[in-house]
Amino acid sequence: MVRNRKIIVTGAEIRIKSYHQQDYICITDMIKIKDGDFFISDWLRNRNTLEYLGTWESMHNQNFNYGEFAIITNKSGLHNFKISVKEWNKRTNAIGLVSTTGRYGGTFAHKDLAFEFGTWISPQFKLYLIKEFQRLKQVESNQYNLEWNVKRILSKVNYQIQTDSIQQNILPKLKIPNDKQWLVYAEEADIINMVLFSCTAKQWRDANPQRAKKGENIRDIASINELAVLSNLESLNATMIRLGENKERRFDILRAEAAEQLLSLNNVDFIKSLKFTSDLTYIEASEQKNDEKQIEEKKLSNFNKSLKKALNSPPPKEKKD
């Protein structure tokens, strides 16, 4: 899914999207700043513009059609010459410009090309555009580092509490060899994984072999909200182990608790609840799209259907030997 961000340049809101894992800036938004009736096709009529685009494509696009590019460039000097973004892309297989339709559509240009387009509007505007874009990247970098650190801390906060509870309350009863005890710890960890991610650690590794080879695990790709809940679940699970709750009962209670906590946390921006030391610590989160909200609501609805039943049911009776 394309991620939307925005910057403000000389009072105008300019969107940024990710295509081909690169930043593309909306030049449709930029052109609104220019006085008079101008269109992107006017910019494309210019021979210098075409040569700049062609040079960029030759550096970044192996499938660029140089034959069509030469034909287009030769016609650029004619009075009646005109070309649209869609025609440019179709004839040359260009990737530097992307044109989309719809309510949130527009023409987006790779940042290198967008900066050049900024020069066409005005040198001053280009400088402000570059400055705001660089500020955005700095903000995103700081936010990523903050989020990564929080994830690493949250993933370890209560794990030790859970393992201590296992060691003190489960292992003595099982009386298994020391070299097999890790299986018990793994099984308890997978109870949390199943509750929160609906799969075990092994199932995730089998489904993501490339990421597993890099040393990543299921918790590395979890959101901050999920890791906050995970930390709480580990503490709750440790308490229930000490109280002697059986595995099935603990699983049901943990699922119910996970659903309730995720419902609360997913309604807020977790990053923004953290203390920050400067305006560059985090960036305002973009509003979630309707389809993302619907997916989350559906997940939580499915959780609640099965979990309400579990909460209302009495604990199972233990079988007597």
Digits of tens for pLDDT over the chain (321 positions)?
Answer: 345 688 888 888 999 998 878 899 999 999 887 765 568 888 998 899 999 999 999 999 999 999 999 999 998 878 888 899 999 999 999 999 999 888 778 999 999 999 999 988 888 999 999 999 988 887 777 666 666 666 666 667 677 888 888 888 888 888 888 888 888 888 998 999 999 888 998 899 999 888 888 888 887 778 778 888 888 899 899 999 999 999 999 999 999 999 999 888 777 655 444 444 444 433 343 444 455 555 555 555 655 555 555 556 655 555 554
**pTM of the model as a whole:** 0.49
| Paired sense of beta strands 5-9 and 12-19, if any | antiparallel
Q: What's the pLDDT at 278?
A: 44
Number of Cβ within 10 Å of residue 162's Cβ equals 23
Rounded distance between C-alpha atoms, residue 45 and residue 268, angstroms: 47
**What pLDDT does residue 143 have?**
64
Residue type, 24: Y
Please state the φ and ψ torsions of residue 316, each to the nearest 5 degrees.
-65, 145
284 vs 282: CA distance, rounded Å? 7
Residue whose entry in the numeric block shows the structure tokens 């989309």: 100
pLDDT at residue 274 in the model: 45
pLDDT at 25: 94
Name the phi and psi angles at 313, rounded to 5: -90, 145
Q: How many helices (H) and strands (E) does the chain have?
A: 15, 5
Report the DSSP beta bridge partners of residue 17. Answer: 24
Say what the pLDDT of residue 303 is: 54
